[in-house]
Structures are given as structure tokens and as C-alpha cells.
Amino acid sequence: MTAVVTATGLTKLYKSSLALDGASFQIGAGRIVGLIGPNGAGKTTALKAILGLTTFDGQLNVLGLDPRKDRGKLMEQVCFIADVAVLPRWLKVGDAVDFVANTHPRFDRAKCEAFLARTKLQRGQKVKQLSKGMIVQLHLALVMSIDAKLLVLDEPTLGLDILYRKQFYQSLLEDYFDEEKTILVTTHQVEEIEHILTDLMFIRNGKIVLDTDMDSLGERFAEVLVSAEQAPAARELKPLDERQVFGKSIFIFDNVSRPQLEQLGEVRRPSIGDLFVATMKGTYA
């Protein structure tokens, strides 16, 4: 696999707190990677480092370039949606398209017009007249018309209703993503991206605590529904997490052999959300 992003010992010190603490990871081409972590874990800082928006220590290679030095060149091939609220309020829809069409060498105007035609956006509308969902439609139409190698999304659907959220990821998958492109996304709405991710990274206190692809995730982690009598036996196997449902216990195990678990009860793949909660236990304590 050719790496799009290679980070080694990524460290960022904000005044007195470590936002990134020697994080190392690799992102391959053609992957959709979810970077998940609690508030303040360093997600946004990591993305900012990749996008050359902040200084940092350590090694970072994005598409063969150092984001600190070659940001100008890098941004022709990297695109990002930082947040739903960053489009300037005075900008008109039509002007936004004209501007990007004339300043971005990899922008496909016809594509963008086609995306916009599927929405209710009018050329003369200003961003401040649009709802949050419509702003995201505009931003997404602009970004999806750019033939970028790496797309970075930082909480792209924050504050949107479920219709817009579903539509957002559906468009990304159907109209944008292919094996040439790589998407890196952070979000708190884990359930919604669970089925589109190919890789998963958990970040906690500035360190990558889990880095796996979704296939090996199912082999490594298991969730077992255990009856009350067998719960002590399950606890012997050092579960990551235990929770009670209807008098039964649900355990999450890391790297315990499948046959052993099947004796205890029904085994299935844990959801990312449950795995996340299990991994991040005690973060805010």
C-alpha cells in the first residue's frame, strides 16, 4: 500500500498541554479512515498538522511533501472541510463557484453545477441566507468537484439533522470516493460512519491507541452476551468492558480466542461506539 500520510512521533505542545504526544500512524491510498477520540484528544490538532495549518515536532509526510514547507503545493491535491460554519457569510453561491473555478487548477465546474442542480441552492443566494444543511451542500459540492488525492473532514456534519447527515456521507461514497482518493474523517457521530470506514484510529491524550482496518477489527475484538452464571468465568478472561442489559452481561474482549468465547455465549462484532466507550474508559476522570 502506498502511504498518503506518514506520521512519526507527531508532537504538539500548546502552552502547557500536550495536544499530540508522539503520535505515529500511516494512512494508505484509497482508504476511508475514521479518526475518533474524545474531546481534547488531539484530533483537530492532528488534522491541522496534516494540512499545514500549525507548527509541530516530529516527522510528517503528506503526499511526499512536508506540510510545513510546501503548503502551497500540497493544497492543490488536498482539500478539507473544517466545519460547517466556515464559508464566509457574505459569499454568494454563484460567486463561490466562480472563485474556486478560477483559482483551483483541479476544479471541475460542470461537475459542481451538476451537484448544485440537485439542491435548492440558487446562484444569487448569500451564505448567510442559507440553512446550515444548505451551507454544507454548497461546501460539499465545491469540494467534491475538486479532484483531490486526500480529503480531510473535521466534524463535517456537526449540527445537521439526520437527513442532511445521511445525504452527506451517501454523496461522498457514491459521487466522490474511488480507489484514487483517500478520506480522513473525524466525528463524534460514530454510528453514522461505521459502515463506510475501511480503517479506524482511536486517539487519546495525543496518542494513537488503536489503529486497525475494519476487517481485522472484527477478528480482534469480540462482544459476547453472557448469562449471569457465566459472568465470573468471563471476567477471568480480562474483558475490556462489561455492561449489564436485562440481567445479562455484555463483555468486550480484545484478542481472546474465538472458541473460548463461544462457550460463554453469543459472539458478535462490537459496534465502534461500544468499542470506543470501552477503550476510552476513565478519560475524563
Partner 1 sequence: MKTFYWLVKREFWEYKGAFFWAPIVTGIVFLVLNTMGLILGEVFGRRTNWGGFKYNGDMHFQGSMSPEDLHNAGAGLDIMLYAIAGIILCVSAIVVFFYCLGTLCEERRDRSVLFWKSLPLSDTSTVLSKVFSALVLAPSIAVVVGVVVGLVLSVLIGTVASMHGLGVWSLLAEAHPFRVVLNLILLLPLYAIWALPTVGWLMLCSSWARSKPFLWAIALPVGAGVIVSWFGLMGMAGLSSQWFWANVVGRLLGSLIPGGWISHASTLEGLDRNNPAAMVDSLGLVYNYSALASPTLWIGAAAGAAMIAGAIWFRRWRDDS
Q: Is 89 one of the binding residues for partner 1 (CB under 8 A)?
A: yes
What secondary structure does DSSP assign to 169-237, as a single string?
Answer: HHHIIIII--TT-EEEEE-S-HHHHTTT-SEEEEEETTEEEEEEEHHHHHHHEEEEEE-GGGHHHHHHT
Tell me how far the alpha carbon of residue 13 is from its chain's centroid: 23
Cα–Cα distance for residue pair 8/58, rounded to 1 Å: 6
Strands (E), 83-194: 150-154, 182-186
The sheet with strand 57-62 has its strands ordered as 17-28, 3-14, 57-62
Among 13, 18, 82, 158, interactor with partner 1 by CB under 8 A: 82
Among 100, 231, 237, 267, interactor with partner 1 by CB under 8 A: 100
- The window from 24-32, 71-79, 158-166, 190-198 that contacts partner 1 (CB under 8 A) reads 71-79
- The window from 87-95, 164-172, 185-193, 220-228 that contacts partner 1 (CB under 8 A) reads 87-95
Q: Is 112 one of the binding residues for partner 1 (CB under 8 A)?
A: no
DSSP 8-state symbol, 284? T
Per-residue mark of binding to partner 1, 214-253 (x: CB under 8 A): ----------------------------------------
Q: Is 115 one of the binding residues for partner 1 (CB under 8 A)?
A: no
Among 50, 60, 63, 81, interactor with partner 1 by CB under 8 A: 81
Q: Is 92 one of the binding residues for partner 1 (CB under 8 A)?
A: yes
Among 33, 87, 140, 150, interactor with partner 1 by CB under 8 A: 87
Cα–Cα distance for residue pair 145/141, rounded to 1 Å: 6
Q: In the range 38-57, which residues lie near partner 1 by CB under 8 A? A: 48, 51, 53-55
In the beta sheet, which residues pair with residue 13? 18
Q: Compute how many residues bind partner 1; rule: CB under 8 A.
A: 33
Phi, psi of 218 (to 5 degrees): -65, -30
Residue numbers of the site for partner 1 (CB under 8 A)?
Answer: 48, 51, 53-55, 71-73, 75-76, 79-83, 85-92, 95, 98-100, 102-105, 139, 143
